[in-house]
Copies of this chain bind each other. A is one copy, B any other.
């Protein structure tokens, strides 16, 4: 059970964009340089966040990415699920209904108790990630972090 490597990239990119001044943007190239990541692949991943409505992309000479919503309204869950989707890691293929031990259909109207418990754990994971917003992340950084982030991310080379 593994999240894509790009999950770390996008969490950090979003947390960095959360430190820009309202309206400011950073390009994929700037973000790639800031974290020393492969620019083309990062750009593709950032588009997933745009598609999920977490980032906005602007075009033109000063174009780039910025958060599409206030930092308090973007949770870690939204970011992680933009990268990896929202489906549960556990797949129930209803093996209780196959083979010599197959249960009759009338006993399978409710979900399998094992699938239920696995879904419950997935809900606990989602709840935990939904409880933290980008605003919480930025609030946990040292007070000097945002100005340094802005300078190194979008400042002159």
Looking at A43-51, A52-60, A61-69, A137-145, the stretch in contact with chain B turns out to be A137-145
Question: In the complex, A113→B18 CA distance in Å?
Answer: 14
Q: Do A101 and B16 touch across chains, with their CB atoms under 8 A apart?
A: yes
Interface residues of chain A: helix, strand, loop or mixed (majority): helix
For A72, the chain B residues whose CB sits under 8 A away are none
- The answer to whether B140 touches A113, judged by C-beta atoms less than 8 angstroms apart, is yes
- What interface size band does chain A fall in? 35 or more
Least Cβ–Cβ distance between A14 and chain B, in angstroms:
9
Complex interface: chain B residues within 8 A of A74 (CB): none
Could you say which of B33, B93, B126 contacts A100, with CB atoms under 8 Å apart?
A: B33
Q: Identify A92's interface contact among B8, B113, B127, CB under 8 A.
A: B8
By a CB distance below 8 angstroms, the chain B residues around A93 are 5, 8
B127 and A124: CB pair below 8 A?
yes
Q: Which residue of B lies closest to A7 (CB)?
A: B90
A125 to B132 CA separation, bound complex (whole angstroms): 16
- Verify A8–B84 contact, CB threshold 8 A: no
A117 interface residue per 8 A CB criterion = yes
**Which residues of A74-107 have CB atoms within 8 Å of chain B's CB atoms?**
76, 80, 84, 89-93, 95-96, 98-102, 107
The answer to whether A37 touches B95 (Cβ under 8 A) is yes
The 9 sampled A-B contact pairs (Cβ below 8 Å) are A3-B90, A8-B92, A8-B93, A12-B96, A12-B114, A35-B98, A101-B152, A107-B142, A121-B126
